Structure 1
Amino acid sequence: MVRIVLDAGHGGKDSGAVGNGLREKDLTLNIVKKIGDMLKDYEGVEIIYTRTDDRFIELSERAAIANRAKADYFISVHINAGGGTGFESYIFNNTKDAKTIAYQNVIHSEIMRAIGNVTDRGKKRANYAVLRETKMPAILTENLFIDNPNDAAKLKSEQFLLQVAYGHVIGLEKAFGLKKKAKPQTKEKSSDKKLYRVQVGTFADRENAERLAEELKRKGYPVYITD
């Protein structure tokens, strides 16, 4: 069993960063719920959320939730601000733990692959409370800049948020060797199905678009990739 804590940054009275009609606390919860939903398709994964709705939780309590659960990994999802652009990830600045470093390398790379033509701001370190106080390997991801109009346009897209979540999940899959659950094939009437279009132009490569398409197909939706 792999216990993974998903932490949606901010919440309640703490909106986090704001800009371009968006609030960080809403975006982080959206992404985290998508990550959790995808992880349900894997064997031997226990998902623990620090919050599943719009509530305020102290940073120390977020870490305590993970510590009490004796989690194997902690992911804190955030949206950046400050006039920059792109994606970056953080681990605790004093860590010498090989697993923490290795997991960051894998997850960071998979998120970048999933979100496509976005600036890679690098794998970084910081003295953030949720990284310092957690007793297991932990990562904090900063997924674009809410105050950058171009980044914000992406963050307003549910398709892009799905890609962000997907990158986190594939990173976890590779880092922990997760395996998909076997699912029986069921037939549905075409009239009952919803259609989703995955546009490959938003990905760094076609392979990742195809993998996300397969993810949606497993949930029962026909998916068409267009060049």
Structure 2
Amino acid sequence: MTAPASRRRLLGASLAVLAMGRAASAAARPLLPAVTRIRLGDDMSRTRVVLESDMPLQEVSAEVVDGLVLDLSFGAVAKVEMTGAGRGLVSQWDFDSDPKGFRDRPRLRLALSGPAEIKARFSLPPTEGAPGYRYVIDLVASRKSPRPLIVIDAGHGGHDTGALGFSHREKDLTLAAALVLAAGLRQSGAYRVVLTREDDTFVALSDRLVIAQAAQPDLFLSLHADSSPNCNVCGASAYTLSDSGTARAARGVSRRASFLRTAAPRQDDNDVDAMLVDLGQRFARNCSARFAAGLLDRLGAVGPLVARSHREAGFMVLLSPQIPSVLLEMGFMTNRLDEDRLADPRRIAQMATAARLAVDDYFAAPRDFASRDVAIVRSR
């Protein structure tokens, strides 16, 4: 046998062994189920969610978070990404298999239109009329009294870094603080919490208002870190809506600005609607000022405050009519001591505890909800 022929035979044998190895590896690799469709049905008192798949789904966990989001995790599943409008108790849903690797399991998230709880969960095999596998979740309206809802807004994110410190970025520090504060509020069991962002993603300012308007919270808190050309300036401050910001919000409502759409007045009686919007704004400004004062008192016990720490501005995140809103500047990125404090998990935990106590103080105080409720009902 010639040398070339021997080499060809050896190469052929090697390729055959490699092909057999690949076939064996493919045979050993488990087939993963794929969610092919999600269906919703029923009404506002009971809603059924059905996940259709080509193989049985294995649920790992299912829980309603803060009465607002149904969060279900599944065992291994083929990559599927879907999202859609809801129905009944579900206002919107999304399912993905975590292609970015942020979670260890695929997850279905159902944004709830009101307090709800899981009544039943079960699997169904294929039938003559339904050839696929089905996983069913039945939701019912909850009779529990809703706890106060708080929206926490971590400033900046994604390509918007915010202020730059000596070794940190504002967007990272605001997110870390928001997550710690949200965890503390949830663990108290007294509040429901919505975050405008939970990771390093960019959320436009108008979208942050859309999130707040859709949730209709009892309180909106935006977290930021300040900067100054004077590196000696340090300490926290809190902003509430200024007179110019109030006028800007009113103009936006009258123009039916998309980010203020839930507060848009009706067309049948503009004078009455304008009066109700004004009542809602007065209520929100009074409550915002009350919360800002309490927040600064609590924060002053654990860290420095700037001079004249309660300030007013027309920041967009403060424009939501009828929603008490405060923007907190936790410190200065341009001051080394402030930056170190905001990057220290222990100090952030102290600030988060102070903020949570301020929230407790705010909701423990007697308040008149009438003006806000009238304005909201009218605007819908």
Q: 2:198 aligns with which of 43, 49, 52?
A: 52
**Residue 158 of structure 1 aligns with which residue?**
345
Aligned to 1:202: none
Q: Per-residue CA shift, 1:54-88, capped at 9, x if unaligned?
A: 00001111011011011111000001111321110
From the two aligned structures, give the one with the greater strand fraction.
2
TM-score (norm 2): 0.45
Q: Tell me, in whole angstroms, the C-alpha distance in 2 between the residues paired with 1:148 and 1:134.
A: 34
Distance 1:86 1:17, change over 3 A: same
| Equivalent position of 2:250 in the other structure | none
Taking the aligned partners of 2:334 and 2:179, their CA distance within structure 1 comes to 23
Q: Deviations over 1:161-195 (max 9, x none)?
A: 111211111110110129xxxxxxxxxxxxxxxxx
The structure 1 residue matched to 2:316, chosen from 129, 134, 137, is 129
User: Structure 1 residue 66 and structure 2 residue 215: aligned?
Assistant: no
Secondary structure, aligned partner of 2:346: helix
TM-score (structure 1 length as normaliser): 0.73
Kindly report the root-mean-square deviation, in angstroms, between the aligned alpha carbons of the 2 structures.
1.6
Deviation at 1:151, TM superposition (A): 1.6
Q: 5 Å matches for 1:13-32?
A: 13-32=159-178
Instruction: Give the conservation status (yes or no) of the 8 Å contact 1:67–1:135.
Output: no
* Separation (CA, whole Å) in 1 of partners of 2:221 and 2:340: 24
Match of 2:286?
Answer: 98
Per the alignment, residue 151 of structure 2 pairs with 5
Aligned mates of 1:134, 1:54 — CA distance in 2: 28
Q: Is the 8 A contact 1:11 1:55 kept in 2?
A: yes
Deviates further, 11-20 or 35-44: 35-44
Does 1:107 pair with 2:295?
A: yes
Q: Does 1:171 align with 2:320?
A: no
Aligned partners of 1:17 and 1:79 also within 8 Å: yes
Cα 1:23–1:164 change in 2 (3 A) is same
Deviation at 1:43, TM superposition (A): 3.4
State how far apart, in whole Å, the 1-side matches of 2:182 and 2:312 are.
25
Residues 63, 134 of structure 1: 8 Å contact kept: no
* Alpha-carbon shift at residue 19 of structure 1 (Å): 1.3
Larger RCO of the pair (alpha carbons < 8 Å, separation 6+):
1
Identity score, percent: 30
- In structure 2, what is the Cα distance between the partners aligned to 1:154 and 1:70? 33
Aligned equivalents of 1:164, 1:44: Cα separation in 2: 19
- 2:222 counterpart of 1:35: no
**Separation in 2, partners of 1:111, 1:119:** 8
Q: Structure 1: which 4+ aligned runs deviate by more than 6 Å?
A: none
Q: Which residue of 1 aligns with 2:259?
A: none
User: What displacement does 1:27 show?
Assistant: 0.3
- Give the superposition deviation at 1:42: 2.5
Aligned pair partner of 1:89 in 231, 235, 238: 238
| Unpaired segments ≥5 residues, structure 2 | 1-146, 247-281, 366-380
SS at structure 1 position matched to 2:187: coil
Distance change in 2, residues 1:15/1:41 (3 Å): same
Question: Residue type of the partner of 1:93?
Answer: S
Asked whether the equivalents of residues 87 and 143 of structure 1 are also in contact (C-alpha less than 8 Å), the reply is yes
Unaligned runs of 5+ in 1: 179-227
Amino acid at match of 2:305: T
Inter-partner Cα distance in structure 2 for 1:27 and 1:126: 22
CA gap 1:134/1:20 in 2 versus in 1, 3 angstroms: farther
Larger Rg: 2
Distance 1:57 1:134 in 2: 20
The question of whether the paired residues in 2 share the 8 Å contact of 1:60 and 1:133 is answered with no
| Residue 79 of structure 1, aligned match among 225, 228, 232 | 225
